[in-house]
Amino acid sequence: MKSRITFIHAHNDSAQLEEVKVSSQSIRIKSLTGAREARLTFSVDELPQDVRQNLPSLRHLAAYVRHSICPENDTQCFKRAAHLQQADYLDIDYGAISRGLALTIFHSQPPEPERWNEEMKPYDSLAKTEVGIIMPEKAADSEDLLFEGFLAVLGEDEELSMSILCPCRLQLIIPFQEPTRFSFPSRHHLAPTISGSTFLITFPSPSGLHPTLSIEFPPSMDPPEPACALHTYLTLPSPLFVDKYQLSSPNLLASNNLRAVRALFGGTNLEAPDWMIKQWGSVVLLELAVPQPAQGRSKTPWHADVPLHLRYLSPTAGGKLQVVVPWPVVFWACPAEQGRKMDANPFDRVNVGYDSLFSQRTIFHHFQPKPATKGAVLVEQLTIPVVELGGTRWVESGTIGVICLGAAWVVWKLTTIFSRDRRADTGRAVKGKKTQ
């Protein structure tokens, strides 16, 4: 097993490094603030047999790690297992060729109200653990990330060293007081605040059976570069879908500040009810059209509207159904400079959904969600009216009754027509005999 634990803290907190204690047996972190990323790599042979079972949430994963993986009475392992529940994200990657499983666990801040207080020890003589403490710096190139910091290997180093985390450089061991700097290009950045970098999601009321997802932007927006295009990536649960044929209309796209549907995957059957959709839902990548003011810079926020549709839903006991819709991702997609190598970022997250729909040489400038209530969860809840479970028997009996009445009416009409035609035929026969 190999692991890499990286702490990223603010530059003005450099005094906290004095609380880091390194020995031949352990590394002790005390009262450290900032983000933490742990990346663990296992070979298939090192994994427990029951690790392939499905776990519904991070809470269940934390319980599994505590009871099945942590050594008995290992309080530090118990503590790290509990911290899994507060992780911002957990990525699991399996390499079919290398037959290795990699877990990446990221915390943007320490679990409240704590700071990072850990004592890390080697699991065994074969396991290798690198611990890095780095601080962000302002890079000369806006497309690069620049850090300075220190690195130590558990069980090998007795002091923090100036080891460079970038894989393209040499490893140097120098005193703790002399940090190193390293930089690399990054595909993901925050959108420039000067040009507007926040967005708000709403569903105008009443939503009805055809809700509209409205994305509100600041009044004036300028792309980081002229060649950049504004996109949004929506993850829709199975009760909701977009009509790709509706969104092919140029007039509808223009009236909603949309430019085109760039990708659509998942449950896209327009006629299927929700209980027939086997997928979890669908995803759609839309390019947005930024309105150009007639003259000067607008002072009114603008919005892009995405028309959605509801499927036929199963009846519920109360006649209502809650549909949870996560906020979309909004970003500028910009081409990178020619000749720039974009695969040297050791912290890059790949295959997160939308990035695989662009070339490797695309740089993303992300907008920050700004909910109406500070700290709110970035999901919207729609209350959908459905058939009440107790009232379906009236629908069934009523439907059967209407069918029976309709069938009786058809039989009666056919009988009437048949009788009328028979009488007419009989009348013509009698008239013919009289004539003879």
Question: If you average pLDDT over residues 288-309, what whole number do you get?
Answer: 81
Report the alpha-carbon distance of residue 408 to residue 155 in Å, rounded.
Answer: 89
| Percent with pLDDT over 70 in the chain | 83
Q: What is the pLDDT of residues 80-107, one digit of tens each?
A: 888 888 888 888 888 878 788 888 999 8
Count H helices and E strands in the chain, helices first: 4, 24
Report the alpha-carbon distance of residue 389 to residue 316 in Å, rounded.
Answer: 5
Report the alpha-carbon distance of residue 198 to residue 368 in Å, rounded.
Answer: 5
For residue 405, report the phi and psi dihedrals to the nearest 5 degrees. -65, -40
Listed in sequence order, the residues at least 6 apart from 162 whose beta carbon sits closer than 8 Å to its beta carbon are 150, 151, 172, 173, 174, 175, 178, 179, 180
For 99, the token pair is 């037959």
| Percent with pLDDT over 90 in the chain | 25
Give the pLDDT band (50/70/90) at residue 293: low
Q: What is the mean pLDDT of the chain?
A: 81
Cβ atoms of 145 and 139 closer than 8 Å: yes
| pLDDT given for residue 193 in this prediction | 74
| pLDDT given for residue 140 in this prediction | 78
DSSP alpha helices (H): ranges in 40-88?
58-64, 75-83
| pLDDT given for residue 364 in this prediction | 92
Question: If you average pLDDT over residues 126-148, what whole number do you get?
Answer: 80
pLDDT tops 90 at residue 282: yes
Cβ atoms of 252 and 304 closer than 8 Å: no
Give the pLDDT band (50/70/90) at residue 242: very high
The CA-based dihedral angle spanning residues 350, 188, 282, 256, taken in that order and rounded to the nearest 10 degrees = -160
| pLDDT given for residue 296 in this prediction | 52
| pLDDT given for residue 176 in this prediction | 44
| pLDDT given for residue 366 in this prediction | 92
For residue 22, count other CB atoms closer than 10 A to its CB: 19
Looking at residue 431, its amino acid is: K
**Is 357 in a helix, a strand, or coil?**
helix
| pLDDT given for residue 326 in this prediction | 94
Q: What is the pLDDT of residues 32-48, one digit of tens each?
A: 888 999 988 888 787 77
pLDDT tops 90 at residue 231: yes
Listed in sequence order, the residues at least 6 apart from 153 whose beta carbon sits closer than 8 Å to its beta carbon are 128, 129, 130, 131
Give the pLDDT band (50/70/90) at residue 344: low
| pLDDT given for residue 333 in this prediction | 94
| pLDDT given for residue 13 in this prediction | 56
